[in-house]
Structure 1
């Protein structure tokens, strides 16, 4: 006995006619009649009163009908529940560079979770360069980074340009310049760069920024991560260039001054596989721009 036999039987009972049931099931009447006869033969009982108009069930047929309806209903519930479980097991893995956690990435991921409750979201910190390889190998589905790294297998979308700032000790003379300073003002300072590896990275970007303005800073020191760099700045050991979002890191005697040079920005890119047009990726883009709208951040959505 198969579920389709139960569906055939239930349709005949509810339509009280083989002809109408066949039309409802989009099958011919003779095969439907044979299926019901086979069902009766398998059960060893008669399910319908022969010759009745409209067609009526026997007492055993009525009993079988009630339980057949329950079984079909249970089957639909199991199907729906299984589909929900399957949705819950779908995973989207995001690679990100650590500095983005101080910006809007946490808000974006949180909103994405709320709007995709059946989707499992995994976050993995990795450099922009490593994200490209991870995308190609299928280890991540999305990458959030800051570097312009091109690869024909990866599509890179510029989300926005984040202004850069200079972190310095409260005793530093340049702290008085509240409206901002220029790279020429800090070229001779003790400057901490981060991270120390792997290359290329944000420290590479800062070096390139100085080169763009034909500046050659001499007192550079690379440290492992942004927290270490800012800790040293708070200790009065030097200064550090950071994305604007890093000003959420507050330490005693630590101040942030805007960089006024036009090129003093750090791009934020989203990278996906070139042919990926999945619904989840489109939903992620929607979440990104919803957050940008709430934060009054300018962006160009025509790039997606």
Structure 2
């Protein structure tokens, strides 16, 4: 059994066609068929039922496909990491979620370039969840996200907690009321925009619109904004789910509801939106920095230095950390 045989099998299993798999791998059909046959002979098991069109996997083949695909992905990841460790790129590829871009990220990058004039930086807008795969593949070297992740390949540090503020239409009765409580906002339509949910195993299915209030344990809710309300035993009267943060703020500006956003977004659409502080000090959105466990890009310490320099200049409380 070797990698060529395994990759041939995966291609056939993915595409359910020898001709399509041959085109995908760049091998001839006879070569592909021979590799599969060698694999089956080595294992003493038929993996593909060749008498159906499209091709079907045997029961053993389906089991093998499910398990071996994960192993090949791990091999590809290790290979990529080894190559990057041997010859690190001069470019620092940084992934970020959009809400971070409205905060201190531009200032941090400016400070990084000022202190390290030779550094080349690329920025990529990518969700917290997608950053995990992007780190493994090498598309990014480090990522700014809003969620904790339990991924064996990844290490992360908590940079700080950012307070949430409530975004309301300018005409809203509470538009000029500061230090608001979540209970006073519960009768409004809450606009949800997070594409990544909290890593809680037990989830409660929430509809886009609910007409009755219920007290739901916060431990059972994975949508971040609903989780914040549930921590206080509150369920909003009605909710609407949209694709991203900008759409959510667009609906607020149009008077279609309210939402909670990190305080760094208080400068967005200020002509139509009023941003007010919340009375709850623990209603916050964390900012995490994550990278690979076994390969830390040589420019990442410079990035951390720039982050902490900006925090000190801004008077932001933080606990200095570093990647291992």
Structure 1 pair 102–211 and aligned structure 2 pair: CA distance change class (3 A): same
Equivalent positions of 1:262-277 (< 5 A) are 262-277=281-296
Q: Is contact 2:128–2:144 with CA below 8 Å preserved after alignment?
A: yes
- The counterpart of 1:256, out of the listed 270, 275, 294, is 275
- Aligned equivalent of 1:216: 235
Structure 1 pair 90–279 and aligned structure 2 pair: CA distance change class (3 A): closer
Equivalent positions of 1:88-127 (< 5 A) are 90-127=90-127
| Cα distance in 1 for residues equivalent to 2:139 and 2:271 | 40
| Cα distance in 1 for residues equivalent to 2:90 and 2:243 | 35
Residue 283, structure 1, aligned to residue 308, structure 2: no
Structure 1 pair 278–229 and aligned structure 2 pair: CA distance change class (3 A): closer
Q: Is contact 2:163–2:281 with CA below 8 Å preserved after alignment?
A: no
Give how far 1:170 is off.
Answer: 2.2
Provide the secondary structure at the position in 1 that maps to 2:180.
coil
| Cα distance in 1 for residues equivalent to 2:305 and 2:157 | 14
Give how far 1:189 is off.
Answer: 0.6
- Aligned equivalent of 2:259: 240
- Consecutive unaligned residues of structure 2, counting only runs of 5 or more, are 1-86, 200-221
Provide the secondary structure at the position in 2 that maps to 1:287.
helix
| Cα distance in 2 for residues equivalent to 1:139 and 1:170 | 41
Give how far 1:208 is off.
Answer: 1.4
Provide the secondary structure at the position in 1 that maps to 2:174.
helix
Provide the secondary structure at the position in 2 that maps to 1:238.
coil
Runs of 4+ in 1 over 3 A off after TM superposition: 197-201, 276-279
Provide the secondary structure at the position in 2 that maps to 1:175.
coil
- Aligned equivalent of 1:128: 128
| Cα distance in 1 for residues equivalent to 2:315 and 2:276 | 21
| Cα distance in 1 for residues equivalent to 2:322 and 2:182 | 31
Provide the secondary structure at the position in 1 that maps to 2:295.
coil
- Aligned equivalent of 2:315: 296
Instruction: Work out the number of aligned pairs and report it.
Output: 215
Deviations 1:219-264 (A, max 9, x none): 1111122222222212222111100000011332311011222321
Q: Is contact 1:164–1:244 with CA below 8 Å preserved after alignment?
A: yes
- Consecutive unaligned residues of structure 1, counting only runs of 5 or more, are 1-86
- Identify which range, 113-122 or 94-103, moves more after superposition: 113-122
- Provide the aligned C-alpha RMSD in A: 2.3
Give how far 1:276 is off.
Answer: 3.4
Q: Is contact 1:209–1:263 with CA below 8 Å preserved after alignment?
A: no
Give how far 1:108 is off.
Answer: 0.7
Q: TM-score, normalised by structure 1?
A: 0.66
Which is higher, the Rg of structure 1 or of structure 2?
Answer: 1
